[in-house]
A and B are shown apart, each in its own frame.
Chain A
C-alpha cells in the first residue's frame, strides 16, 4: 500500500539553526500539507500546497517557514532560524482531490535545544 514517507524521523537542532524536513507524498496525489503537533496537543495546520504554489497557510506559518517541491516527488518544509517553541512532531500529508482522505506520514520529531 502506498504511503507518505518522511525523513528524518527525529532531528535535534540548536536554536537559531536552519532545518529542512523532507516528505515524499503518494505519487498520484495533488494536494500536500504540513501539520505540526506539539507534544500532547492537537494537530495544527501549517500550510497547504497545490499546483506548485501555496494554497493556504495558517498564522503559525510565518516568514521563518517555507515549503518547496523541488523535483516533483519531494515536498520539503524549511525552518530558517529555529526557536525552542518549534519543537514538535511535524506531519506531512497528501491527498488526491476533493474531499478525499488525507494520508499522513509517520512524522518528524523536531527537538530544538
Chain B
C-alpha cells in the first residue's frame, strides 16, 4: 500500500519567514495530494491540494509543488504569521473516489512573533 513520509517533524520560523514542508510517497498510482492544517484539538482542515496533472498550485501565501518523477511534493508558506502555527499533514490517494487518504506523520510548525 501507499506510504507517505513527511519532513521535518518540527519546524520553527520567525514571523515573516518562509516555511517548507516536504513529503514523499511510494505509490506511483497516487494522483491526489492534499495538505491539511490541524490546530490543537481540532479537525484537520484542507488548506490546498494538487492533482498529478499539474506541477504547482498557489493560493495566496500557500503553494504546493509536485514532482511525479521523484514522487515528492512540498508545501511552501510565505510571509508566515503566528496564526500559521499548527500541525500540517500531507496526504496522498489513488485515483478512484473510494480510496482513502494516506497521511504523513505531520509537521509541527511554530511561527515565532
Q: List residues of chain A with CB under 8 Å of any chain B CB.
A: 30-31, 33, 35, 41-45, 48, 50, 55-56, 58, 91, 95, 97-107
Contacts and interface: CB of A to CB of B under 8 A. Distances in A.
B86 to A, nearest CB: 14
Given A42-B104, A43-B89, A106 B99 contact: no
Contacts of A104: 36, 43-45
Given A42-B106, A99-B51, A101-B34, A56 B100 contact: yes
Interface of B: 31-32, 34, 36, 42-46, 49, 51, 89, 91, 93, 95, 97-106
Nearest to B105: A42
A97 to B, nearest CB: 5
Contacts of B93: 99
A48 B44 contact: no
Contact of B98 (A35, A44, A56, A101): A56
A45 B102 CA distance: 7
A42 B44 contact: no
Given A43-B103, A99-B51, A50 B46 contact: no
Contact of A31 (B44, B95, B98, B106): B98
Contact of B32 (A43, A91, A99): A99
B100 A99 contact: no
A50 B36 CA distance: 23
A101 B99 contact: no
A95 B97 contact: yes
Contact of A107 (B32, B43, B98): B43
A48 B100 contact: yes
Given A43-B103, A56-B99, A99 B43 contact: no
Contacts of A55: 98
B43 A31 contact: no
A33 B93 CA distance: 13
Contacts of A98: 97
A95 B46 CA distance: 12
Contacts of B51: 99
B106 to A, nearest CB: 5
